[in-house]
Structure 1
Amino acid sequence: MMFDEKHVEWLADLLAETAGAEIMPRFRRLGEGDIRQKTSASDLVTEADVNAERVITKALRERYPDAVVIGEEACSENPAILEGLGDARLAFVIDPVDGTYNFASDVPLFGVMLSVVVNGETVAGIIHDPVGKDWLIGMRGAGSHIRRPDNSLDKVRVADPVPVSGMTGSISWPYLPEPERSRLARNHAKCLAQIGYRCAAHEYRVIASGYAHFAVFGKLMPWDHLAGVLIHTEAGGHAARFDGSAYLPSHVGGGLMVAPDKESWKELRETLWAE
């Protein structure tokens, strides 16, 4: 099934409407029973995550009854859902609240992410910012842009390449094993500066928009990265797993790094992993 701009506009509006109904009314209003730990004190789920995913999933299944719909919270309950992603003719992958730790901590850095996968390839990605009320949207072969609340569009592009010493970026080292974790944390100091928003949605946004250069992720769940990598690539960037191989929707391991171009990626790989 081919996706055109009208499909993406409907999806973008669905994310915004759901955020307005299920996410923002709960922001800074969560009670004790509205927040639960999943795997650790930094891995949380709230009533906003659960309800937003439920609403988005229902709408997608009504409009696309033959599609596979994969949501982060549904996969927490049943990991087997992921197995169909690589082979599906049409699939939607949802992160109802990316940056749940921030959301639960009353920090206004979180987003709603959705990607569209057709025959194992990501063809569209949407990152909605419920606070700023805008969208970062990428479509395969059509570039990436920010859609403003007035529906005006601003094309985005990654930063120009610079030496590693002039780069700003993030390294998500909590999900890396030792000694790799300590090595990357140490070598990060060779860069100009760091960002660390605890929210992939906003990290992909600033990198795809050219305000920062790179990100390194140790944990690869599709709802965290499919939309962002598609948007970043369509904005001119380069993304690959740590071994240099292409990142695909079916991948859940192998690490991931995004950079302005292939040469910058290689320089970062050499510098950040240096003994």
Structure 2
Amino acid sequence: MAQCQPLISRLVASSVTAAAQAGKIIRDILNQGELNIIDKGKNDLQTEADRSAQKCIIESLSRQYPDVTIIGEEGSSRCEVPSDWIVTDMDQDVLNLKLPKELENISAKDICVWVDPLDGTSEFTQGLVDHVTVLVGVAIGSRAIGGVIHQPFYNNNSSLGRTLWGIVGSGIGGFTPISPIEGKRIITTTRSHSNKIVQKALDAMEPDEIIRVGGAGHKVMLLLEGKAHAYVFASSGCKRWDTCAPEAVLKSAGGNLTDLYGELYSYDANTNYQNTKGVIATAPGQQHSWYISRIPESVKQDI
């Protein structure tokens, strides 16, 4: 019966189960203690968990959707993987969701899936496992439409994960958004990639509190949980696979994610991977334009 559902429903439903399986692989590797860290460059690490989680997701999705373009942070080449890493079942809650008419008959050639198999690698290697997320974003043309954020170590638990998902214009699952506290302005930002420009943008927001954590997925989860009002990152340090899934989930819940100019990033397969104009994301109910207006022109020019 699942094959009767629209392609977007099936793809997001499959991404939910694949991300959860990738989360299990990440937990297993951490418990075994064999991280096998590779330094890819400045502040850019890769572990066995990154590589294995990506193999799981790309093989699981590619076998079911061979005509869909899939781009992964660790490269998109396919290879043999253990059979128990391949998942082909689909999340029933996603399949039951009613799509807007414009999403019902999408061609596979118009879809690009962006995969960050382990967002927050630096924190993962330092034992800050609650910062880690698995991200699978689904774009149609240039727009982020569907997203899955899986947190393998929910509440720092080594055996329990949770999955948040959303399809823009359709709904969300795995969580209930909570409004941030009124009367304060709490900003979340990078933990490990800060500099004078990043700090200048934060100061312009006049925050009451700054929460510095790893991973774009984790930061957007803080917005959805009502723990922060906005995510501000005045740097070109993140990429499309960092923001596609978080943007889709956040927009599905009523929030927003753009560059520092208030423009949406493009997620088509031929786009530049680098988010060269920074990131601002706001929780549902927040006035996104206010945060955009606070960014100094000097910051925009510097990044």
Please give the per-residue CA displacement for 1:180-206, whole angstroms capped at 9, x wherever unaligned.
Answer: 334225446x21111121122111112
Q: Which residue of 1 aligns with 2:257?
A: 239
| Secondary structure in structure 2 of the residue aligned to 1:44 | strand
**Matches of 1:130 and 1:197 in 2, distance apart?**
16
Q: Relative to 1, partners in 2 of residues 1:240 and 1:183: Cα closer, same or farther, differing over 3 Å?
A: same
Q: CA deviation at 1:28?
A: 5.3
Normalising by the residue count of structure 2, what TM-score does the alignment of the two structures yield?
0.72
| Secondary structure in structure 2 of the residue aligned to 1:113 | strand
| Secondary structure in structure 1 of the residue aligned to 2:75 | helix
The answer to whether the 8 Å contact 1:144/1:235 transfers is: yes
Q: Relative to 1, partners in 2 of residues 1:185 and 1:90: Cα closer, same or farther, differing over 3 Å?
A: closer
Q: CA deviation at 1:265?
A: 2.6
Q: Which residue of 2 aligns with 1:39?
A: 41
Q: Which residue of 1 aligns with 2:221?
A: 205
**Matches of 1:167 and 1:61 in 2, distance apart?**
42
Q: Relative to 1, partners in 2 of residues 1:265 and 1:123: Cα closer, same or farther, differing over 3 Å?
A: closer
Q: CA deviation at 1:15?
A: 1.4
Structure 1 unaligned residues grouped into runs of 5+: 77-86, 147-153
What percentage of aligned pairs have identical amino acids?
22
The answer to whether the 8 Å contact 2:14/2:61 transfers is: no
The answer to whether the 8 Å contact 1:143/1:155 transfers is: no
| Secondary structure in structure 2 of the residue aligned to 1:191 | coil
Name the aligned partner's letter for residue 62 of structure 1: R
Q: Relative to 1, partners in 2 of residues 1:106 and 1:263: Cα closer, same or farther, differing over 3 Å?
A: closer
Q: CA deviation at 1:25?
A: 1.2
Q: Which residue of 2 aligns with 1:15?
A: 19
* Pairs within 5 Å for 1:57-72: 57-72=58-73
Name the aligned partner's letter for residue 106 of structure 1: G
Q: Which residue, out of 128, 146, 150, partners 1:128? A: 150
CA RMSD of aligned residues (A): 2.9
Please give the per-residue CA displacement for 1:43-102, whole angstroms capped at 9, x wherever unaligned.
Answer: 2100110111112111211101111110001079xxxxxxxxxx9512211111111111
* Pairs within 5 Å for 1:76-91: 88-91=109-112
**Matches of 2:13 and 2:50 in 1, distance apart?**
22
Q: CA deviation at 1:269?
A: 3.2
Q: Which residue of 1 aligns with 2:27?
A: 24
Q: Which moved more, 1:88-97 or 1:244-253?
A: 244-253
Q: CA deviation at 1:134?
A: 1.1
Please give the per-residue CA displacement for 1:142-182, whole angstroms capped at 9, x wherever unaligned.
Answer: 23232xxxxxxx4325547x56xx2111233875776x334
**Matches of 2:45 and 2:56 in 1, distance apart?**
19
Q: CA deviation at 1:216?
A: 1.5
Is 2:198 the partner of 1:181? Answer: yes
Q: Which residue of 2 aligns with 1:118?
A: 140
Is 2:194 the partner of 1:194? Answer: no
**Matches of 1:36 and 1:30 in 2, distance apart?**
15
Q: Relative to 1, partners in 2 of residues 1:171 and 1:272: Cα closer, same or farther, differing over 3 Å?
A: farther
Q: Relative to 1, partners in 2 of residues 1:47 and 1:125: Cα closer, same or farther, differing over 3 Å?
A: same
Name the aligned partner's letter for residue 123 of structure 2: N
Q: Which residue, out of 93, 96, 100, partners 2:121? A: 100
**Matches of 1:120 and 1:234 in 2, distance apart?**
16
Q: Relative to 1, partners in 2 of residues 1:269 and 1:122: Cα closer, same or farther, differing over 3 Å?
A: closer
The answer to whether the 8 Å contact 1:138/1:145 transfers is: yes
Q: Relative to 1, partners in 2 of residues 1:185 and 1:30: Cα closer, same or farther, differing over 3 Å?
A: farther
**Matches of 1:99 and 1:116 in 2, distance apart?**
20
**Matches of 2:178 and 2:187 in 1, distance apart?**
16
The answer to whether the 8 Å contact 2:262/2:292 transfers is: no
**Matches of 2:198 and 2:210 in 1, distance apart?**
16
Structure 2 unaligned residues grouped into runs of 5+: 78-107, 155-160, 299-303
Q: CA deviation at 1:9?
A: 2.7
Q: Relative to 1, partners in 2 of residues 1:23 and 1:63: Cα closer, same or farther, differing over 3 Å?
A: same
**Matches of 2:72 and 2:285 in 1, distance apart?**
31
Please give the per-residue CA displacement for 1:118-161, whole angstroms capped at 9, x wherever unaligned.
Answer: 22222210001112211110112023232xxxxxxx4325547x
Q: CA deviation at 1:226?
A: 0.7
**Matches of 2:67 and 2:6 in 1, distance apart?**
14
Q: CA deviation at 1:10?
A: 2.5
